[in-house]
């Protein structure tokens, strides 16, 4: 299967959605599951093939546009398609308990969101990348406004305004690059980026930084992020946390290493990441809304990832990618379970953690929390210790101390929630999880435990990804169309 189908199939399914809707909700829901399943299985098939893979459309790159799949994008492809499978199954439950929702509207944008995210990680052409960026943007604006109430619309509008700012910066950067180099192919840009006049190059880098950094929720640009999480439904929160934010992060570091910026801007990105981590974790302590709380937690984890991914050492980067995968799974787990809780208790206050009675959900939340905190034997631990080990090898002890100290702050609110769940006092309402969710949450929790106990299953891919990210020679060869 050509890589183009990763984009084409969801788009076709998206456009066929009105037709599926006529055929009945079963077809509609089934089609989305089928689509995400096809994409996921195909992604697994790619793990056995030789990488990088390329799909060109009519003209050979660097003139024509192409999709390139290397180790780095493969990891993200697996995460995205897996999240899509889980969320599409979860929506079966969601639409069962909320029968009056507009299903077609959700599935159109859900499919397109997956298409756009995958397009962003596969595209080897900066302008196409921008188009996918906008597709993801439009879909996420609409999905965050899926509840057409005050809060939903407010979050949609806010997201749209911020997205517009980010896209202006990115368009400007792309134009400057084209004016300087005369190409939009990532390979050619990467080869000739150092030829650009230093002042213009600083401008381009800053614009890309602001554009993608805003979307990837870095500190001084992330004041909007918790609002968006608060206004949208839980499954969309899960998607934002494990797919959308990760896609922007992917592009950020893809360009960061491709353009050879790591030596010059490493410290800068690391400091920004550290500040993001610090501020978000401290802010999260004071939250009374669960969705905002987990939004801040997501921001904090993104901060760690920014710190670790910018180090230019394959060990740390591999650890960070492991942490990223584990964080995606854990946050998906938490947000989906949270959706069940919010549905039953009709509240988003933090006190709902003390009000429910379900041993299964308690265990699920506990696994999620422990994994995010990096406590063995869950997958978060491996990621965190690999990151710390990487920092130690480069003798960056201040980063280690910083991460560990702020992690204690993080533990405060996670264990406050845990203690509320375990507290026996007060009236508790029984929460029925539902059969589908039972299986989904079990799968996610099992993955967290399996990756914690047998990390080598995943480390193979993160190593591959880290090497592809830091030494993009293979990627460049394919992006330039050499030997095709």
User: Considering only residues 230-289, where is the footprint of other proteins by CB under 8 A?
Assistant: 230-231, 279, 282-289
Q: Which two tokens stand for residue 34?
A: 């089928």
First to last CA, the chain: 18
Query: Six-digit token pair at 57?
Result: 């459309």
In angstroms, give the least distance from the CB of 174 to other proteins: 8
Alpha-carbon distance of 235 to 340, in angstroms, equals 10
- Crossing angle (nearest 10°) for helices 25-47 and 103-122: 20
- Cβ-based nearer residue to other proteins, 338 or 440: 338
Please calculate the CA angle 414-416-420 and round it to the nearest 5 degrees: 120
Rounded to whole angstroms, the Cα distance separating 382 from 380 reads 6
At 56 the three-state DSSP class reads strand
Site string for other proteins, 198-227 (x = CB under 8 A): -x--xx-xxx-xx---x-----xx-xx-xx
State CA 101 to chain mean position distance: 26
x/- mask, other proteins, residues 358-377, rule CB under 8 A, reads --------x---x--x-xxx
Of 33, 157, 443, 450, which lies in the binding site for other proteins, with binding defined by CB under 8 A? 157
Phi and psi at residue 398, in whole multiples of 5°? Answer: -65, -35
- CB of residue 436 vs other proteins: minimum separation in angstroms? 26
449 lies in the site for other proteins, by CB under 8 A: no
Residues touching other proteins, count (CB under 8 A): 101
Kindly tell me which residue out of 26, 423, 435, 442 binds other proteins, with binding defined by CB under 8 A: 423
Please, which residue, 90 or 146, has the CB nearer to other proteins?
Answer: 146
Q: Nearer Cβ to other proteins, position 97 or 149?
A: 149
Residue 419 binds other proteins, judged by CB under 8 A: yes
Name which position in 127, 262, 438, 474 contacts other proteins (CB under 8 A).
127
Nearest distance, CB of residue 283 and other proteins, angstroms:
4
Q: Which of 10, 137, 380, 383 binds other proteins (CB under 8 A)?
A: 137
Site for other proteins in 384-413 (CB under 8 A): 385-386, 388-389, 391-393, 395, 397, 400-401, 404-405, 407-409, 411-412
CA distance 312 to 9: 35
- Strands, DSSP E only, in 270-324? none
Question: Any idea of the CA torsion for 467, 471, 476, 478, to the nearest 10 degrees?
Answer: -30
CB closer to other proteins out of 39 and 227: 227
**What residues between 35 and 94 interact with other proteins by CB under 8 A?**
none
Q: Where are the beta strands (DSSP E) in 230-279?
A: none
Fill in the per-residue mask, 166 to 205: x = in contact with other proteins (CB under 8 A), - = not in contact. Answer: -xxx-xx-xx--xx--x-x--------------x--xx-x
Segment (H or E) for 423: none
Q: Which of 277, 174, 310, 160 is nearest to 227 (CA)?
A: 160
Site for other proteins in 297-336 (CB under 8 A): none
* Binder of other proteins out of 2, 98, 164, 471 (CB under 8 A): 164
8-state DSSP, 358: -
């Amino acid at each position: 299967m050509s890589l183009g189908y990763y984009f084409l199939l969801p788009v076709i399914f998206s456009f066929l959605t009105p037709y599926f809707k006529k055929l009945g909700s079963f077809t509609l829901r089934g089609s989305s599951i089928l689509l995400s399943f096809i994409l996921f299985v195909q992604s697994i098939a790619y793990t056995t093939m030789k990488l990088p893979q390329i799909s060109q459309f009519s003209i050979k790159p660097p003139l024509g546009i192409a999709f390139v799949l290397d180790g780095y994008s493969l990891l993200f492809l697996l995460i995205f398609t897996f999240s899509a499978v889980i969320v599409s199954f979860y929506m079966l439950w969601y639409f069962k308990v909320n029968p009056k929702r507009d299903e077609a509207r959700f599935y159109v944008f859900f499919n397109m969101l997956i298409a756009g995210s995958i397009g962003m990680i596969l595209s080897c052409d900066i302008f196409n990348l921008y188009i996918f960026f906008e597709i993801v943007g439009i879909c996420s604006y609409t999905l965050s406004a899926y509840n057409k109430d005050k809060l939903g619309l407010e979050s949609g509008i806010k997201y749209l305004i911020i997205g517009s700012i980010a896209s202006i910066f990115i368009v400007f950067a792309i134009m400057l690059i084209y004016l300087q180099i005369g190409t939009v192919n990532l390979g050619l840009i990467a080869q000739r980026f150092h030829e650009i006049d230093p002042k213009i190059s600083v401008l381009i880098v800053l614009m890309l930084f602001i554009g993608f950094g805003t979307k990837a929720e870095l500190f001084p640009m992330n004041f909007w992020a918790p609002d968006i999480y608060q206004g949208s439904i839980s499954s969309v929160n899960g998607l934002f946390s494990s797919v959308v934010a990760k896609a922007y992060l992917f592009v950020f570091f893809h360009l960061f290493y491709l353009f050879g910026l790591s030596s010059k801007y490493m410290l800068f990105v690391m400091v920004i990441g550290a500040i993001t981590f610090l501020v978000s974790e401290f802010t999260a302590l004071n939250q009374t809304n669960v969705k905002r709380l987990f939004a801040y937690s997501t921001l904090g984890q993104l901060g760690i990832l920014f710190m670790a991914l910018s180090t230019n050492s394959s060990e740390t980067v591999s650890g960070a990618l492991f942490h990223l995968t584990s964080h995606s799974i854990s946050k998906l787990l938490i947000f989906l379970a949270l959706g069940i809780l919010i549905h039953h208790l009709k509240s988003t206050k933090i006190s709902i953690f003390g009000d429910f009675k379900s041993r299964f959900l308690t265990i699920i939340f506990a696994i999620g929390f422990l994994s995010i905190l990096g406590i063995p034997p869950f997958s978060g631990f491996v990621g965190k210790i690999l990151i710390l080990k990487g920092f130690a090898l480069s003798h960056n002890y201040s980063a280690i101390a910083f991460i560990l100290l702020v992690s204690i702050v993080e533990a405060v609110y996670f264990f406050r929630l845990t203690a509320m769940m375990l507290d026996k006092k007060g009236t508790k309402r029984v929460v029925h999880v539902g059969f589908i969710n039972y299986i989904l949450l079990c799968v996610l929790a099992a993955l967290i435990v399996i990756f914690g106990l047998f990390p080598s299953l995943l480390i193979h891919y993160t190593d591959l990804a880290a090497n592809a990210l830091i030494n993009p020679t293979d990627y460049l060869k394919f992006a330039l169309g050499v030997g095709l």
